[in-house]
Amino acid sequence: MTSTAPFSPFFLNSEGRALFSVFYPAQNVAAAQGFILHIPAFAEEMNKSRRMVALQAQSFANKGYAVLVIDLFGTGDSAGDFSAASWLLWKQDITAACLWLLEQGATAITLWGLRTGALLALDFASYTVLKINHVLCWQPVLNGELFVMQFLRLRLAAAMMDKDAPQEKTSDLKQQLLDGGVVEVAGYALSPEVVMPLLALSAYDIDISSVERISVIEVVGHSQKLAAPNTLKWAEEQDSKGKAIVIKTVVGHSFWTTQEITDVPALLSESLNCLI
């Protein structure tokens, strides 16, 4: 088990928006070996993942890396409602977090994203003028539209359990968003400002040439199982463009979706290996 590293919770100012943040200073070194920013998963996946994210941040810190974990605007303990969030505001939040890390002494930053957070990290890295030297992707969502449609199905599943609920289709819900409406799914009010950019986003279309390193770690059910086919295809396509992507797999449970809070110790150690 990873020993607990000291950490400091605070609210980071992102253009007037208060973002709940936790900073894990680098331990056992005179100066941090690197600076890491965690970009969280979407909606309930973020809540399910908090323990694993904290364990990994502590593990990084104990090995000499400084880590900042943030709740994006409208999520977690940060200011704002989820319905008021937007993909653009979230990228502004990442900028604010990176600038804060620069004030702490960073010269280059590793973005560590989980699920849609990985897609957001890649999107951000493709346009920012800040130096992003590494993007570490945990179980990345590579197709935003596919993710949104899967998320909308949660509402359909809930409706099937309620005989009084209207019977809808994912295409109906998608059209509501396209028409500018807000759709509530599993207690989260989805706004077009979040969903529309995500619907249009695919890792295949993101220019990642400016990022020095990209690592992907996926959690699989057994040691013989490969990474997801779309992940392997994306890596193959990037390799043809001269950008090598390191892909690793570890055995464990899908901690971002499991009913009970779950640890994947192998993911902690493999993530450290990716920093070397």
Tens digit of pLDDT for each residue in 218-228? 999 998 889 99
User: Is the CB of residue 248 less than 8 Å from the CB of residue 270?
Assistant: yes
From residue 104, give the alpha-carbon distance in Å to each of 26, 36, 175, 244, 275.
11, 12, 45, 30, 20
pLDDT at 87: 97
Confidence label for 165 from pLDDT (cuts 50, 70 and 90) = low
Q: Is the pLDDT of residue 7 over 80?
A: yes
What per-residue confidence (pLDDT) applies to 142?
98
Tokens at residue 157, please? 């599943």
> Who wins on pLDDT, 162 or 71?
71
Looking at residue 156, its pLDDT comes to 78
Average pLDDT, integer, range 78-102: 97
- Whether residue 35 contacts residue 109, with contact meaning beta carbons closer than 8 Å, is answered with yes
- What is the structure's pLDDT at 59? 97
Q: For the chain, list the domains and their CATH numbers.
A: 8-142+203-275 (3.40.50.1820), 144-201 (no CATH)
**Average pLDDT for residues 221-240, to the nearest whole number?**
92
pTM here is 0.94
Is pLDDT at 31 greater than 90 in this prediction?
no
Using CA atoms, how far apart are residues 37 and 68, in angstroms rounded to an integer?
A: 5
Query: Residue 68: which residues within 8 A CB-CB, separation 6 or more?
Result: 21, 22, 23, 24, 35, 36, 37, 38, 97, 100, 101
Q: CB burial class (10 A; 0-12, 13-18, 19+) of residue 244?
A: exposed
**More confident position, 46 or 225:** 46
Per-residue pLDDT, averaged over 258-263, amounts to 91
Q: How confident is the model at residue 1 (pLDDT cuts 50, 70, 90)?
A: very low
Q: Is the pLDDT of residue 158 over 70?
A: no
Cα distance between residue 211 and residue 127, in whole Å: 10
174-197 residue pLDDT tens: 888 888 888 888 889 999 999 999
Percent of the chain whose pLDDT exceeds 70? 95
| Dist. CA 66–CA 60, nearest whole Å | 7
Question: Within the chain, what is the greatest distance between any pair of CA atoms?
Answer: 62
